[in-house]
Structure 1
């Protein structure tokens, strides 16, 4: 007799900005429990690193809280990319490095000579630790004694799975996200990872859908979870957002997954035309398939440009921006996105603008950057926006007009958690989700094409 499919999945969701514990109901497609805390970076020797013990305490406490009043049938994990844990036995050999730390740049010349070609890895050279291979390269040479003790290299989602189960695993969505460590077409470690000997240190390859085991007896005692609670392997967060769409749409289509990063997935696209110089790259989906992609730091730029005072624009605010040609030009997070060398600027002094006008200008700016990023990825078909940008009506309407393609808003607001929960359905599962919704026409965008021409001119 087959075991029943789990219904209530507790997802440990580690984003770059926030950490969440979500209990997702696979039957209704909704979340029945959500707790959030900031993702804290500890700026202390040996280098800036994540507060994994603070997260661990948060996860155990909130799991105990959730399990008190809510059935939990399984655990799953999703995290941001560009992050690996270096284990010496059951402990960290070195702290989990913050990928925004620029220390690895000190070895840039040597790393550029060692890293694989774009044709093999489909990975552009990115600053700081955004190429996880650069992190490992720098750590191995900067802390040779500690690195020599490493017994396993584990992607970040599987690090958390290991702490709950004691089972070591690696998984391709994290290995394949601009790491230089994976060859997507070959579905294997890159020549660079092999040359460094790291392929022998990576934990055994597993599918994101795999059931790794059950929670340990200690975890069950500390949280109140049943000792036979299954634990799934886990998945990179943008690929978690992509999974529901892979299960419900036919290619070609485009997914714009938004958060700190905005990731474009050109499902059904051709990777051969990707431009490495404009943040074109391949992701690897939950099934192990390469997906042409591009990125920009959309959520971070929105926060920087609105300075924490975002306000939903009125129709009058939007007309003020378009009629006055108030422009925001890229880019305010240097080194990434379709304009990596751009030096961000405003056509007016932003402090002179009302909050609504300023927010309108920022939303239009991000729609223009998104269009450019989609061109880099070779995106086609309808566009599905998921995550926080799906609540930005002006952004969605502008993107639809700029691209001439229908824009749909994904059902639900927690795409990463939803996708990670769906791992429990298995690779042939069919999610229960409300349909994506088309956008309305609430803003008068007359003159947007002229405005866009001024922006690119």
Structure 2
């Protein structure tokens, strides 16, 4: 039997997904899972790596045993996460969460040694972000856990660790290195000198491109296995492959990341205020991005709405866009929500509840989040004149979010797909050895224009 399907594990912070694609990159199967978190040695929440790997093995073996003709396997996952292995290839530490605070004295010492901060940020395409700069996780371990650090023999970015599980090959890959790790010198296209100075380079495996293929045996079948790819870079790939005109991609999920692949990426005024960083295309070129912890904040505020109005947390899924509520909120706008993980400069001291109904409060929440999102998008567009915005990921099918953002972002025009699988599709494309034709997303994934309502 010819093994024609490509399997992709798309590992998000919240949802773990398994997709199968046919040779024309049409989705033929999907499976979603949510796994409980564990905690690291200090009690901070952490991905349960053992449970994740067990789920992945089980799902893939079941698919193969059921007769699905899988021939190729790849992975996309969130970044800012390193898996540290000992000399026997065993996981040595928890998968530290990028939301874990980094001690200020360690971060200060780093920038004192390798700054100034603004120069370092320009060269590495990063902002000062603690554990989100995953290279600094190694610096932190060296300073705070020297005994553990000495036992590390290999440090893998999460997508490459997932590949390692099935191939046994120790690899690094450009898109993972390039996602605000503070490891990469974009000006010289090499690891930054601090990596060598701290002797961290010896822990990082050889770099391969995103289309490098290994082989592995799973349930008696030999599979072509990719090295894994960072999820935001993967999400961008199908759009770059099939769309010719310049655009902004808004990749949504726990993070909402506005990506502009049509700029030289050089820092500009206001970049630090909009958390502008670099991601990397699979060919190594930088992508300017502006990130917002929007999905995380959205989840926190959904919990608050649920408690205040005494409704199920997922009630928001039943809410449709109400033009009258939108007009009322827009015309008499006063901030109501106190953010927990976003900039609070324009927030009230505590969340106010001026609305009688859940629906009105939900519209208020989305409106306030869209004000922040609009500012990040307009900044990343700059003076480029780009008029197209594509929304991918979890918010692409949120009617209230899409319509509210469409109202705010004019004259830009929004396009969405009916499936939030850009990262998985990009991972499949990366190891396919072929491209996709113009119009592919429109024909196969219902890419559609969103025409905003005419409101007075």
- Shorter-chain TM-score bucket reads 0.7 to 0.9
Q: 1:328 to 1:208 in 2, by over 3 A?
A: farther
Q: Is the 8 A contact 2:336 2:352 kept in 1?
A: no
CA distance in 2, matches of 1:101, 1:347: 24
The ranges of structure 1 where at least 4 consecutive aligned residues each deviate by more than 4 angstroms after the TM superposition are 45-48, 328-331, 427-432
Structure 1 segments unaligned to the other structure (5+ residues)? 335-339, 447-457
Instruction: Compute the RMSD of aligned alpha carbons.
Output: 2.6
Q: What is the deviation of 1:415? A: 1.7
> Does the C-alpha gap of structure 1 residues 343 and 111 become closer, same or farther in structure 2, counting only changes over 3 Å?
farther
- Provide the rounded CA distance (Å) in 2 between the counterparts of 1:28 and 1:316: 41
Alpha-carbon distance change, 382 to 313 in structure 1, aligned in 2, over 3 angstroms = closer
Kindly indicate whether residue 450 of structure 2 is the aligned counterpart of residue 439 of structure 1. yes
Q: Residue deviations 1:134-182, cap 9 Å, x none?
A: 2111111222122112222211100111111011110111111111101
- The alignment's TM-score, normalised by the length of structure 2, stands at 0.86
Q: Which residue pairs with 1:25 in the alignment?
A: 22
Q: Distance in 1 between matches of 2:25 and 2:102?
A: 45
TM-score by length of 1: 0.86
CA contact (8 A) 2:392 2:422 kept: yes
Is it true that 1:231 corresponds to 2:242 in the alignment? no
Aligned: 1:168 with 2:170: yes
In 2, Cα distance between equivalents of 1:426 and 1:61: 28
Q: Is the 8 A contact 1:18 1:39 kept in 2?
A: no
Q: Which residue of 1 aligns with 2:71?
A: 73
Is residue 94 of structure 2 the alignment partner of residue 91 of structure 1? no
* In structure 2, distance between residues paired with 1:267 and 1:251: 11
1:190 alignment partner in structure 2: 192
Number of matched residues? 427
Question: Displacement, 1:43?
Answer: 4.3
Question: Given the superposition, is the C-alpha separation of residues 207 and 107 from structure 1 closer, same or farther in structure 2, using an over 3 Å criterion?
Answer: same
Instruction: Note the 1:288-367 alignment, pairs <5 A.
Output: 288-307=284-303, 308=313, 309-310=315-316, 311-325=319-333, 327-328=335-336, 331-334=339-342, 340=343, 342=345, 344-345=347-348, 349-350=352-353, 352-367=355-370
**1:3-152 paired onto structure 2 within 5 Å:** 7-27=4-24, 29-38=26-35, 40-45=37-42, 48-69=45-66, 70-89=68-87, 90-115=89-114, 117-127=120-130, 129-152=131-154
**Offset, 1:41:** 3.5
On the 8 A contact 1:273/1:378 being kept in 2, the answer is no
Q: 2:301 and 2:238 mapped to 1: Cα distance?
A: 31
Q: Post-superposition shift, 1:330?
A: 7.4
Q: How does 1:412-451 map to 2 (within 5 A)?
A: 412-426=419-433, 428=435, 430=437, 432-435=440-443, 436-441=447-452, 443=453, 445-446=455-456
- Is the 1:390–1:396 Cα contact (8 Å) retained in structure 2? yes
Shift of 1:45: 4.6
Q: How far has the Cα of 1:14 moved from its partner?
A: 1.6
* Counterpart check, 1:257 vs 2:251: yes
Are residue 286 (structure 1) and residue 294 (structure 2) matched? no
Q: Aligned equivalents of 1:280 and 1:384: distance in 2? A: 19
Q: Report the CA distance between 1:97 and its aligned residue.
A: 1.0
Residue 239 (structure 2) aligns with: 245
Provide Cα deviations, 1:319-372, integer angstroms capped at 9, x if missing partner: 3423443535674314xxxxx463644997237442211221222222221221
Q: Distance in 2 between matches of 1:355 and 1:397?
A: 18
SS in 2 for 1:98: coil
Counterpart Cα distance in 2 of 1:254 and 1:323 = 28
Contact 1:363 1:395 in 2 (8 A): yes
| Aligned-partner Cα distance in 1 for 2:434–2:336 | 43
Relative distance call for 1:7 and 1:271 in structure 2 (3 A) is same
8 Å CA contact 1:408–1:439 kept in 2: the answer is yes
CA deviation vs aligned residue, 1:280-324 (integer Å, no higher than 9, x gap): 111111221101110001111222223234233433432342344
Contact conserved, 2:4 with 2:22, CA < 8 A, in 1?
A: yes
Between the aligned partners of 1:46 and 1:377, the Cα distance in structure 2 is 37
Q: CA deviation at 1:77?
A: 0.7
Q: Which residue of 1 aligns with 2:308?
A: none
When residues 12 and 71 of structure 1 are mapped into structure 2, their CA distance, relative to the original with a 3 A threshold, is same
Matched-pair contact (CA < 8 Å) for 1:78–1:416? yes
Higher mean C-alpha deviation, range 74-83 or range 34-43: 34-43
Determine if contact 1:252/1:269 at 8 Å carries over to the other structure: no
Residues 22-62 of structure 1: per-residue CA shift (max 9 Å, x gap): 22335252241313123624244586532111011111111
